[in-house]
């Protein structure tokens, strides 16, 4: 699909979604209670798609990272600002995707009563390929800066601890390729899930990107049940699995491949346990 066709289709979809939201408001009136759904995870893991498909629900308002109302340079605006944004909304549920603030997931869920969270993760191989195509050497620059003690006030360093910076140095970013750096970045961002004990938080659910795109209807139906939202068929009409294994496995160092594989398996175990409840 060409970029122009994609933009046209998106504009039509958004217009249709807004029409449904207006109809929902006229039918149901002002919601008695309002709450957030936060989408967390690492960039290039399906977070944008998840936010948009949830936003296709007539009872959900979605603000992406580029929305100046909720975000400033992709960082979440001060909490009183987004609280006001929620209370002024005509929809009962507002979806926000504070990826650069994923280290604050536990804080956000605790701050806003009845809010829910979704941590979406993706096989590191596909995430690495997508990240390098999209961001080039951005992850590599982070790793090299962190190894030298620079950039520690950047968003990517938030939530990291001394052991993380030692791990970065141990993999020698000076000689690292962009793919290995993107894999290490995937590990560090998804490790924040464990560091915040989110697997024990009943208000947050793990979501596999692979499961979402291969079985979208059942996956979103189950997710909506967790989020206490209604499921609408239009929410999954555009989901497909074409991105899975689209490119050859990236040239990631064996040590980092093992590190990421182990973390991915741990995420899968927790997701399976959550699904069984």
- Reported as a single tens digit per residue, the pLDDT across 1-38 is 444 443 445 444 555 566 675 566 656 655 668 999 99
Q: For residues 242 and 145, which has the higher predicted lDDT (pLDDT)?
A: 145
Q: Hey, what are 67's tokens?
A: 């929305």
3-class secondary structure, 73: coil
SS3 content of the chain, % helix, strand, coil (to 5): 60, 10, 30
DSSP character string of 198-245: GGG-TTEEEEEHHHHHHSHHHHHHHHHHHHT----GGGGTT---TTTT
The predicted structure's pLDDT at residue 246: 72
The strand pairing partners of 120, in sequence order, are 41, 207
Reported confidence tier of residue 183, pLDDT bands at 50, 70, 90: very high
- How large is the average pLDDT for residues 98-123? 97
Query: At 185, is the pLDDT very low, low, confident or very high (cuts 50, 70, 90)?
Result: very high
Task: Give the C-alpha separation, 171 to 252, whole Å.
Answer: 12
Superfamily, domain 31-276: P-loop containing nucleotide triphosphate hydrolases (3.40.50.300)
What are the pLDDT digits (tens) for 203-229? 999 999 999 999 999 999 999 999 999
Q: Identify the band that residue 238 occupies on the pLDDT scale cut at 50, 70 and 90.
A: confident
Residue 111's closest CA among 23, 18, 30, 38? 38
Looking at residue 196, what DSSP letter applies? T
Q: What is the mean pLDDT of residues 44-50?
A: 94
Note the pLDDT of residue 33.
87
The domain locations on the chain are: 31-276
Contact 251, 169 (CB under 8 A): no
């Amino acid at each position: 699909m060409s970029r122009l066709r994609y933009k046209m289709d998106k504009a039509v979809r958004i217009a249709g979604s807004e029409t449904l939201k207006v109809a929902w408001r006229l039918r149901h009136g002002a919601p008695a209670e309002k709450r957030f759904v936060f989408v967390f995870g690492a960039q290039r893991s399906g977070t944008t798609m998840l936010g948009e498909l949830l936003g296709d629900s007539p009872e959900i308002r979605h603000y992406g990272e580029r929305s100046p109302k909720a975000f400033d340079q992709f960082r979440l605006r001060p909490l009183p600002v987004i609280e006001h944004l929620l209370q002024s909304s005509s929809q009962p549920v507002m979806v926000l995707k504070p990826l650069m603030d994923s280290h604050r997931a536990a804080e956000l869920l605790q701050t806003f009563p009845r809010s829910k969270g979704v941590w979406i993760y993706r096989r590191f191989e596909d995430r690495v390929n997508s990240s390098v195509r999209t961001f080039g050497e951005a992850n590599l620059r982070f790793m090299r800066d962190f190894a030298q003690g620079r950039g520690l006030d950047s968003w990517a360093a938030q939530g990291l601890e001394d052991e993380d910076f030692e791990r970065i140095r141990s993999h020698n970013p000076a000689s690292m390729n962009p793919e290995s750096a993107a894999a290490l970045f995937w590990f560090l961002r998804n490790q924040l899930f464990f560091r915040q004990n989110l697997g024990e938080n009943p208000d947050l659910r793990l979501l596999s990107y692979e499961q979402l795109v291969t079985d979208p209807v059942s996956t979103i139906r189950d997710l909506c049940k967790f989020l206490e939202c209604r499921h609408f068929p239009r929410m999954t009409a555009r989901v497909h699995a074409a991105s899975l294994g689209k490119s050859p496995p990236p040239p990631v160092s064996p040590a980092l491949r093992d590190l990421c594989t182990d973390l991915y398996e741990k995420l899968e175990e927790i997701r399976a346990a959550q699904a069984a409840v």
